[in-house]
Amino acid sequence: MKILLVYPEIPDTFWSFKHALRFVRKKAGAPPLGLLTVAAMLPAEWKKRLVDLNVTNLTPKDLAWADYVFISAMIVQRDTARALITRCKEANAVVVAGGPLFTMEHDQFAEVDHFVLNEAELTLPPFLADLANGQAKHIYTTTEYPDIHLTPAPLWPLANLKHYDTISIQFSRGCPFSCDFCNVTALLGHRPRTKTAPQIIAELDSLYALGWRKSIFFVDDNFIGNKKQIKSEVLPALIEWRKGKTGVPFSTEASINLADDPELVKLMTQAGFDTVFVGIETPNEDSLAECSKNQNKGRDLVESVKRLQRAGLQVQGGFIVGFDNDPPSIFQQQVDFIQKSGIVTAMVGLLQAPPGTRLHARMQQEGRLVNQMTGDNVDGTTNIIPKMGMEPLREGYRKLLTQIYAPKFYYERVLVFLREYHPPEVRIHLETQYILALGRSIYQLGICGAERVHYWRLFFWALFRRPRLFPLAITMAIMGFHFRQVVELHIG
């Protein structure tokens, strides 16, 4: 059996980093973790190929070679996935689809031959058994959650890793919290299910053996969902693993209550974590209560962020406007919070209601759902009719994003962060392209860019005041260029 695994193109979004990746001559952020994991679940004797449309093209020869085309996608890839499916069917290819997009919207893709939905550990085996008997059904789904102790390591050799800037791996699925706008629990449940420490170490060993020395992102929706196991097993194993190794910084996602546990934070930085994405959402207490973001309530959120920064963790933040309890002043409140906290990578989106969430059910009951959510965090769209009115929301949002990613505000925020940030000493592996990126940034940002005055101020401040953070300062300048391009593309 010959299986072609195809990943649709990701559009130009906040997290695509397309404009930043050009500085380091990389084509995409990370290879498709889901498809590579599914590939490892297929019979070993089957022939497999990966075509990631973010780094290469799909040819007629590829489609002619394949017995089946496996496609996985997220909501933000809806349009490119649809175009891909159409092309596959025009070539008379048999399409098997799974992943978050199809799990939530499979009824909108009539051309797909077989859907393997939810988590593949449970739905792929019956599909493969039926396929072997010539009786494959149209849809395979489940309401159960699998034990991921048995999940195999992704089949990394299928991906040409030189095209990517980072790699994603997964330790856990599920989240113990109940934010009403989040579909993580709808898809993966409340009880965090985890891999074992030996599983994670085996995955890291396989990547290191392939020569990978750059960033690794733990894609868990809340890495600290099971604190006991993280503290007692996983982080000690990671600390031991990285002894004598060069580079390989880790990043992940976690809830803000991480800041309440200095021991856990110290273990994470010792293990090599230098960045954590946190769902801040809003500084407005009434809006936090509205969305059941209880872990964020009743705390000094700025101080919680700075506590993590001082301990050696760069905090990336997710923010939302459009809650029913948001006052007209919320847009400036968000700007003030983001600037004061020094959260350089601040993803601000309009409130959206994903299918399967409590928010979606409430909006449906109130007759306030419109269109489909795009899955793009910063395109200025929403599938909710907001209480403050659509035009005030859009205009306030436009001003907010334009302000925080204007060079003056962005570079000020970088300096606020760098003054606070105190990471441990780490041996960093630098590819030639990362060194050349400095020259490209000097030319594009320091000579040709509208931000050149701010760029050179940051350049010399970091070089003379915090030389160890100089590479990070230049990286942030490049990331700011990407964010401005995306903001201008979506909201002008």
Does pLDDT of 428 surpass 80? no
Domain shared by 84 and 181, yes or no? no
Domain shared by 459 and 437, yes or no? yes
What average pLDDT score do residues 286-314 get?
97
Does pLDDT of 179 surpass 80? yes
Distance of CA 70 to the CA centre of its chain: 22
Q: Which of the listed residues 420, 449, 483 is the one where a domain comes to its end?
A: 420
pLDDT at residue 429 in the model: 63
Domain shared by 266 and 402, yes or no? yes
Domain shared by 228 and 129, yes or no? no
pLDDT confidence band for 434 (50 / 70 / 90): confident
Does pLDDT of 427 surpass 70? no
What average pLDDT score do residues 318-322 get?
98
pLDDT at residue 246 in the model: 73
Tokens of 191: 């009880």
Domain shared by 415 and 437, yes or no? no
pLDDT at residue 186 in the model: 80
Does pLDDT of 239 surpass 70? yes
- To the nearest 10°, the Cα dihedral for 304, 310, 313, 314? 80
Range of the domain at 262: 165-420
Domain membership of residue 454 (yes or no) is yes
Domain shared by 412 and 444, yes or no? no
Percent above pLDDT 90 for the chain: 91
Domain membership of residue 247 (yes or no) is yes
Domain shared by 414 and 470, yes or no? no
Domain membership of residue 81 (yes or no) is yes
Does pLDDT of 151 surpass 70? yes
Domain membership of residue 382 (yes or no) is yes
Q: Which of the listed residues 420, 440, 460 is the one where a domain comes to its end?
A: 420
Domain shared by 78 and 178, yes or no? no
pLDDT in tens, 377-397: 899 999 999 999 999 999 999
What average pLDDT score do residues 6-18 get?
96
pLDDT at residue 190 in the model: 86
User: How many structural domains comprise the chain?
Assistant: 3
Domain membership of residue 157 (yes or no) is no
pLDDT at residue 244 in the model: 79
Domain shared by 367 and 260, yes or no? yes
Domain membership of residue 147 (yes or no) is no
Does pLDDT of 62 surpass 70? yes
CATH code at position 393 = 3.20.20.70
Domain membership of residue 152 (yes or no) is no
pLDDT in tens, 321-342: 999 999 999 999 999 999 999 9
pLDDT at residue 424 in the model: 83
Does pLDDT of 245 surpass 90? no
Domain shared by 315 and 277, yes or no? yes
Domain shared by 216 and 355, yes or no? yes
Average pLDDT, the chain: 95
What average pLDDT score do residues 251-269 get?
97
Does pLDDT of 156 surpass 80? yes
Name the pTM for this structure: 0.95
Domain membership of residue 452 (yes or no) is yes
Domain shared by 254 and 111, yes or no? no
